[in-house]
Structure 1
């Protein structure tokens, strides 16, 4: 295992913060005051749809592939609510409420 001093850790944190800022500023700072072309706006519409499954999938399947029936059930209900209402917020709130509610009841 590699040991790092406190100074090295802070240098890494500050470098990553600067890199993240520059990546975001490149898009928002340089292009933020001009309208984007239509093809870029069409592509950006799919960003939440692509990011949400990438965030949720590891929580469902996990790196160790331990599937939990409660998580799978709540994910299925969330998908059904999302398709039925066509509202991402209602789907997320329903899934979270169901997960924490059933988790508290079932233990």
Structure 2
């Protein structure tokens, strides 16, 4: 696909405007109104739903192994999940996962 510089910049600007409009539709239009309690209750669970959706494919089908099962990544995910659940500390969970991943990659190859 051969695209010129002007076409690429037009696509970037169009995506930027689209992204702004999506955010403005929620923040700009509803920003100064009171959101019902039931909506706020559901919004609290958004990060809890999004983070596993981002991480799970990297654990189950890692690109580094061509989609094959990889014990170091599964062990790192289990360590991060276990420590995060036990301590409720995100930084500690991320650190435990990173340390476990690198240790298992070193030990298991």
* TM-score normalised by structure 1 residue count: 0.81
Cα-to-partner distance string for 1:48-100 (whole Å, 9 max, x where unaligned)? 01110111122112364223221111101011112212333432232234334
Which 5+ residue runs of structure 2 have no aligned equivalent?
Answer: none
Q: Which runs of 5+ in 1 are unaligned?
A: none
Work out whether 1:3 is the aligned partner of 2:2.
Answer: yes
The answer to whether structure 1 residue 62 and structure 2 residue 62 are counterparts is yes
Matches within 5 A, 1:41-56: 41-56=40-55
Supply the distance in 1 between the matched residues of 2:22 and 2:99 (Cα, whole angstroms). Answer: 35
Question: Hey, what does 1:21 align to over in structure 2?
Answer: 20
- The two structures have a TM-score, normalised by structure 2, of 0.80
Deviations 1:21-63 (A, max 9, x none): 1111111111122221011101101100111011112211236
Moved more, 2-11 or 48-57: 2-11
